[in-house]
Amino acid sequence: MNTSLAYVRSTTTIFCAVFLLICAAKTSGQTPQSSPIRDVPYRQLVSLNHDWSYLEKEIADVQRVNESSEEWARIDLPHTWNLWDVVDPQPGYRRSAGWYRKELFVPVLKNRLRLILSFEGVNITSEVFVNSSRAGGHVGGYVGFDMDITPLIRQGTSNTLLVRVSNAYDPDVIPSQKSDFCIYGGITRDVWLNIVPEVFLGRLQILTPVVSASHADVQAHFVISNPTGKPESFEAEVTVLAPGGREAGRQTLAVATRGDTVTVTAPLVPIVNPLLWSPNQPSLYTARVRLKRGRTVVDEVEERFGCRWFEFKAHGPFFLNGKRLLLRGTHRHEDFAGYGNAMPDSLHRSDIRMIKEMGANFVRLAHYPQDPEVYRACDELGVLVWDELPWCRGGMGGERWKNNARRLLAEQIGRYYNHPSIIIRSLGNEFNWLPDFPGGDNLDSLRLFLRDLNSIAHRLDPGRLTATRKFTEGADLVDLVSPSLWPGWYSGYYRGFEKALTDSRNRFPYFFHAEYGGDSHVGRHNEYPVTGDGMSEGWEEQITPQKIKNVSLSSDWSENYIVDLFDWYLYVSEQLDWFSGNAQWAFKDFPTPLRPENPIPYMNQKGLVDRSGKPKDAYYVFKSYWTTAPLFCYIESHTWTDREGPKDVRREVNVYSNCAEVELWLNGVSLGRKQRTLTSFPACGLSWQVSFAEGRNSLRAKGPGAAEDTMSLNYSFKGNDVADHLELSARPQETGAILITALAVDKNGNRALDYNKRVYFTTTGGGSEYAGTPSHSPIIEMANGRASWEIFPPAGHPVVVEVRNQDFKGAYVTISGRGSAR
Amino acid sequence: MNTSLAYVRSTTTIFCAVFLLICAAKTSGQTPQSSPIRDVPYRQLVSLNHDWSYLEKEIADVQRVNESSEEWARIDLPHTWNLWDVVDPQPGYRRSAGWYRKELFVPVLKNRLRLILSFEGVNITSEVFVNSSRAGGHVGGYVGFDMDITPLIRQGTSNTLLVRVSNAYDPDVIPSQKSDFCIYGGITRDVWLNIVPEVFLGRLQILTPVVSASHADVQAHFVISNPTGKPESFEAEVTVLAPGGREAGRQTLAVATRGDTVTVTAPLVPIVNPLLWSPNQPSLYTARVRLKRGRTVVDEVEERFGCRWFEFKAHGPFFLNGKRLLLRGTHRHEDFAGYGNAMPDSLHRSDIRMIKEMGANFVRLAHYPQDPEVYRACDELGVLVWDELPWCRGGMGGERWKNNARRLLAEQIGRYYNHPSIIIRSLGNEFNWLPDFPGGDNLDSLRLFLRDLNSIAHRLDPGRLTATRKFTEGADLVDLVSPSLWPGWYSGYYRGFEKALTDSRNRFPYFFHAEYGGDSHVGRHNEYPVTGDGMSEGWEEQITPQKIKNVSLSSDWSENYIVDLFDWYLYVSEQLDWFSGNAQWAFKDFPTPLRPENPIPYMNQKGLVDRSGKPKDAYYVFKSYWTTAPLFCYIESHTWTDREGPKDVRREVNVYSNCAEVELWLNGVSLGRKQRTLTSFPACGLSWQVSFAEGRNSLRAKGPGAAEDTMSLNYSFKGNDVADHLELSARPQETGAILITALAVDKNGNRALDYNKRVYFTTTGGGSEYAGTPSHSPIIEMANGRASWEIFPPAGHPVVVEVRNQDFKGAYVTISGRGSAR
CA–CA separation, A287 and A277 (whole Å): 15
Contact of B807 with chain A, judged by CB distance below 8 Å, is answered with: yes
Q: Confirm if A176 and A434 have CB atoms less than 8 A apart.
A: yes
CA distances from A658 to A352, A369, A451, A670 (A): 21, 33, 44, 20
Which of A96, A546, A763 is opposite residue B764, by nearest beta carbon?
Answer: A96
pLDDT per residue as tens digits for the range A402-433: 999 999 999 999 999 999 999 999 999 999 99
Distance from CA of B219 to the nearest CA of A (A): 46
CB contact A760 to B (< 8 Å): yes
pLDDT at residue A398 is higher than 80: yes
- pLDDT digit string (tens) for B203-247? 999 999 999 999 999 999 999 998 888 889 999 999 999 999 999
Question: Which residues of chain A make contact with B800, given a CB cutoff of 8 A?
Answer: 95, 168-169
What is the least distance, in Å, from the CA of A169 to any CA of chain B? 7
Q: Is B805 on the interface with A (CB under 8 A)?
A: yes
Give B688 to chain A, closest Cα distance, Å.
37
Give the mean pLDDT of A602-627. Answer: 98
A727 bridge partner residues = A743
Q: How many CB atoms lie within 10 A of CB A629?
A: 9
Tell me, yes or no, if B91 comes closer than 8 A to chain A by beta carbon: yes
Q: What is the C-alpha separation between B46 and B25, in angstroms, rounded? A: 5
Residue in B with minimal Cα distance to A602:
B806
**B299-345 pLDDT tens trace:** 999 999 999 999 999 999 999 999 999 999 999 999 999 999 999 99
Which is it for strands A200-211 and A125-130: parallel, antiparallel or unpaired?
unpaired
Q: What pLDDT is attached to residue B611?
A: 98
User: Tell me: the pLDDT tens digits for A237-291?
Assistant: 999 999 999 999 999 999 998 878 899 999 999 999 999 999 999 999 999 999 9
**CA dist., res. B525 & res. B637, Å (int):** 9
Rounded to the nearest integer, the mean pLDDT of chain A is 92
The partner residue sitting opposite B808, judged by closest CB among A394, A544, A804, is A544
d(CA A459, CA A8): 10
Instruction: Say if strands A480-482 and A465-469 run parallel, antiparallel, or are unpaired.
Output: parallel
Cβ within 8 Å, pair B809-A594: yes
Distance from CA of residue A814 to its chain's centroid? 40
Q: Alpha-carbon torsion B570, B574, B576, B580, what sign?
A: positive
| Residue of chain B minimizing CA distance to A599 | B806
Residues 555-574 in A contacting B (C-alpha not used; CB under 8 Å)? none
Q: Spell out the SS3 assignment of B93-160.
A: CCCCEEEEEEEEEECCCCCCEEEEEEECCCECEEEEEECCEEEEEEECCCCCEEEECHHHCCCCEEEE
* A91 interaction partners in chain B (CB closer than 8 Å): 89, 760-762, 778-779, 804
Q: Which of residues 453-512 of A touch B (CB under 8 A)?
A: none
Q: Tell me B445's DSSP state.
A: H
Strand partners, B104: B159
Helix (H) or strand (E) holding A626: helix A617-626
* pLDDT score recorded for residue B25: 35
Residues A166-185: tens digit of each pLDDT: 999 899 999 998 899 999 99
Is A430 among the residues known to form the active site? yes
Distance from CA of A95 to the nearest CA of B (A): 6
Asked if the C-beta of A177 comes within 8 angstroms of chain B's C-beta atoms, the answer is yes
Say if residues A664 and A685 touch (Cβ distance below 8 Å).
no
Residue from B618, B591, B613 nearest B603 by CA: B591
Give the total residue count for chain A: 822
Cis peptide before A367 (omega within 30 of 0): yes
Cβ contact, residue pair A92, B722, below 8 Å: no
Query: How do beta strands A113-119 and A145-148 pair?
Result: antiparallel
B95 touches chain A (CB under 8 A): yes
Helix, strand, coil in percent for chain A, rounding step 5: 15, 35, 50
Residue B400 has pLDDT above 90, yes or no: yes
Question: Rounded to an integer, what distance in angstroms lies between the CA atom of residue A26 and that of residue B36?
Answer: 63
Cβ neighbors of A791 (< 8 A, separation 6 or more) are A737, A738, A740, A763, A766, A767, A768, A799, A801
Q: Measure CB to CB from residue A806 to each of B169, B596, B809 and give the nearest one.
A: B596
Query: Which residues of B are less than 8 Å from A92 in CB distance?
Result: 760, 762-763, 802
CA B543, CA A49: separation in Å to the nearest integer? 56
**B90–A95: do the CB atoms touch at under 8 Å?**
no
Burial of residue A724 (CB within 10 Å: 0-12, 13-18, 19+) is buried
How close are the terminal C-alpha atoms of chain A, in Å?
75
The answer to whether B434 faces chain A, any CB pair under 8 Å, is: yes
pLDDT in tens, B614-659: 999 999 999 999 999 999 999 999 999 999 999 989 999 999 999 9
Q: Determine what percent of chain B falls in helix, strand and coil, rounding each to the nearest 5.
A: 15, 35, 50
CA distance A383 to A282: 8
Quick one: pLDDT band at residue A29, thresholds 50, 70, 90? very low
Q: Using CB atoms, which residue from A91, A800, A804 is nearest to B760?
A: A91
From the list A393, A596, A809, the residue facing B594 with the nearest CB is A809
Q: What is the dihedral angle through the alpha carbons of B65, B71, B73, B79, rounded to the nearest 10 degrees?
A: -30
Kindly tell me if the per-residue pLDDT of A345 is higher than 80: yes
Chain A nearest-CA residue for B394 = A810
Q: What is the pLDDT of residues B427-448, one digit of tens each?
A: 999 999 989 999 999 999 999 9
Enumerate long-range contacts of A604-608, CB under 8 Å, 24 or more apart: A604/A180, A604/A181, A604/A519, A605/A519, A605/A520, A605/A521, A605/A557, A606/A517, A606/A518, A606/A519, A606/A520, A608/A330, A608/A358, A608/A584
Whether chain B has a CB inside 8 Å of the CB on A816: the answer is no
pLDDT at position A9, please?
30
Distances (CA, A) of A151 to A115, A135, A226: 9, 9, 15
User: Closest-CA residue in chain B for A178?
Assistant: B810
Contact A778 B806 (CB under 8 A): no
Q: Is the per-residue pLDDT at B354 higher than 90?
A: yes
Is B763 within 8 Å of chain A by CB? yes
